[in-house]
Amino acid sequence: MERVVHVVGGGPGDPELLTVKGARLLKESRFVLYTGSLFPEESLKALAPQARLADSKGMVLEEIVALLAEEAGKGRVVRLHSGDPGLYGTLLEEKEALEALGVRVEVVPGVTAAFALAARAGLSLTAPEVAQAVAFTRLGVRTPVPEGQDPKSLAAKGLTLAIYLSGMHPKRLSRELLEAGLAPDTPVLFGHKVGQAGEEVGLTDLRGLEGLPARDTTVFLVGEALRAKGVRSRLYAPDFRHRFRR
């Protein structure tokens, strides 16, 4: 029997934001390893009714890999990551270690919190002639950020920032973005526990960001695209020709 671990992006916590494939794999699974601090257990019990559930939040990498490899020989195994596995997760190290043990890894993408937050507010991360670039970044706190990749370095007029893992430091984030030259009234969309019980979503600016409470599981979107109005894409303009409309 081939040993396989399905790494599934669980999205921000709302079961309805799982992909169809991810939901199917959970339903078919006999073992699910998840991070209890990031994904609601009650939701998971309904999504994976036949599975034995194990919480990874108190484990180290070696324990995670050994457990997944052992269970993979017994039936369908899902390693559930919050959001998307490829963004601020442990996909690379888990995949490399599992493959070294002869376990095949299949990855299923998920909805990341920045997209769920923008959708909740009915806003867009990009807008024609306003913002055509998005950067995912975070503050360097206990874990450093490579030079030039922190929010302050990436802040630029027109660029939309999606800032993760920085919810405990709103004052510092506000200060650094202002020091980078962003205007004090630059829009900031914040989301705490997006897609979960206790969700809070709000729109402020860099001045208001300073006064937000310090809370984990908070993501910030920053940029002019968040207040763009009256913009129109060239794609559907009457005088814009392309191969589907001549």
Query: Per-residue pLDDT tens for 22-64?
Result: 999 999 999 999 988 777 788 899 999 999 999 999 999 999 9
User: Per the structure block, which two tokens stand in for 36?
Assistant: 């209890």
> Shortest CA distance to 108 belongs to which of 127, 123, 124, 95?
95
| pLDDT > 90? residue 1 | no
Using a cut of 0.85, tell me whether the model's pTM lies above it.
yes
What is the three-state SS of 139-197? Answer: CCCCCCCCCCCCHHHHCCCCCEEEEECCCCCHHHHHHHHHHCCCCCCCEEEEEECCCCC
219, 213, 41: which is closest to 114 by C-alpha?
Answer: 219
Q: How confident is the model at residue 231 (pLDDT cuts 50, 70, 90)?
A: confident
Q: Where are the beta strands (DSSP E) in 35-133?
A: 52-55, 77-81, 104-108
Domains along the chain?
A: 4-108 (3.40.1010.10), 113-227 (3.30.950.10)
In this prediction, residue 246 carries a pLDDT of: 67
Predicted local confidence at residue 238, as pLDDT: 76
pLDDT of residue 157: 81
pLDDT in tens, 83-128: 999 999 999 999 999 999 999 999 999 999 999 999 999 999 999 9
Give the SS3 label for residue 225.
helix
Residue scoring higher pLDDT (128 or 231): 128
